[in-house]
Amino acid sequence: MIVAENLRKTFPGKGKKAQPVVAVDNVSFTAHDGQITGLLGPNGAGKTTTLRMLYTLMQPETGQVEVDGFDATTQADAVRRVLGVLPDARGVYKRLTARENIAYFGKLQGLSDAEIAERTRLLAAALQMEDFLDRQTEGFSQGQRTKTAIARALVHDPRNVILDEPTNGLDVMTTRGLREFLKQLRAEGRCVIFSSHIMQEVAALCDRIVIIAQGRVMAEGTPDELRAKAGTENLEDAFVQLIGTEEGLHA
């Protein structure tokens, strides 16, 4: 379970006398185990910054993050061990094979060789990556790279999974496969958070949706709750009304 409370983050503005930019302002939400929580918002809404605070790469200025009861600031190591993260930056080492990429992260998570081999087998099957598992990742397609990055993020079998725009740049078939994979993670009882700027995708997958725009949480709830809140039948209309723009409706 991941709990975010009153997160705030500002960045220094560029140039002299520039005002600091408030990237995330008072963001709170809770992501439960066995559920997929979607962070929905247009580009530049502060989704990536919020996620970075969740996976301990950034310190929030105010507020706190708790993952499975561990505090992200004071117990960052414990949080990192129970988290699997697919960051916005998902570069893989191009001179290593997909399997070696995964094994490297397994080692850094403290797994034994046998555990790494077993997890790699399971993840490769679930992500359908067996046929390119032993190839060097140089020349991989975007989908193959993303799958490699997801597998390496989950090699230590984490209870909590954070994915930053996982379907970005993927074709329809790969996206479908990925959705099935996320549902599988949910069925295993994990807490899954993913961010997206595509409404349809969030609607298709999520148990709970957190709508973020301009660094603030505009609305939070199940799809039904959001429809009720906006007073519309249709989730798309609800989204437009809640963030006050049509941006992000069309992928």
| Single residue of 113, 171, 180, 188 touching other proteins by CB under 8 A | 188
107 is a site residue for other proteins (CB under 8 A): yes
**CB 159 to other proteins: min, Å:** 6
Query: Which of residues 32 and 81 has its CB atom nearest to other proteins in the complex?
Result: 81
Alpha-carbon separation of residue 208 from 32, 143, 220, 221, 234 (angstroms): 9, 26, 7, 5, 16
110: buried, middle or exposed (CB in 10 Å: 19+, 13-18, 0-12)?
A: exposed
Q: Residue 27: CA atoms inside 13 Å, Cβ hemisphere, count?
A: 35
Give the closest residue to 22 by CA, choosing from 56, 74, 62, 54: 62
Q: Which among 16-24, 39-47, 100-108, 123-131 is the span making contact with other proteins, rule CB under 8 A?
A: 100-108
Contacts made by residues 58-61, CB under 8 angstroms, sequence distance 24+: 58/9, 60/7, 60/8, 60/9, 60/24, 61/8, 61/9, 61/10
| Single residue of 105, 181, 194, 239 touching other proteins by CB under 8 A | 105
| Single residue of 104, 203, 207, 230 touching other proteins by CB under 8 A | 104
83 is a site residue for other proteins (CB under 8 A): yes
What distance separates the 2 farthest-apart alpha carbons in the chain? 56
| Single residue of 1, 3, 22, 82 touching other proteins by CB under 8 A | 82
136 is a site residue for other proteins (CB under 8 A): yes
Q: Which among 16-24, 38-46, 102-110, 174-182 is the span making contact with other proteins, rule CB under 8 A?
A: 102-110
Give the closest residue to 239 by CA, choosing from 207, 192, 202: 202
Residues 192-251 that bind other proteins (CB under 8 A): none
Phi, psi (degrees; rounded to nearest 5) at 33:
-65, 150
**CB 54 to other proteins: min, Å:** 10
What is the separation of C-alpha 59 from the centre of its chain, rounded to a whole number of angstroms? 18
122 is a site residue for other proteins (CB under 8 A): no
| Single residue of 47, 52, 186, 197 touching other proteins by CB under 8 A | 52
149 is a site residue for other proteins (CB under 8 A): yes
91 is a site residue for other proteins (CB under 8 A): yes
**CB 59 to other proteins: min, Å:** 6
111 is a site residue for other proteins (CB under 8 A): yes
Per the CB < 8 A criterion, the answer to whether 240 and 203 are in contact is no
Strand 83-86 and strand 70-71: pairing?
unpaired
**CB 231 to other proteins: min, Å:** 39
9: buried, middle or exposed (CB in 10 Å: 19+, 13-18, 0-12)?
A: buried
Per the CB < 8 A criterion, the answer to whether 198 and 204 are in contact is no
Q: Which residues bind other proteins (CB under 8 A)?
A: 52, 55-59, 77-78, 80-83, 85-96, 100, 104-105, 107-111, 115, 136, 149, 152-153, 156-157, 159, 188-190
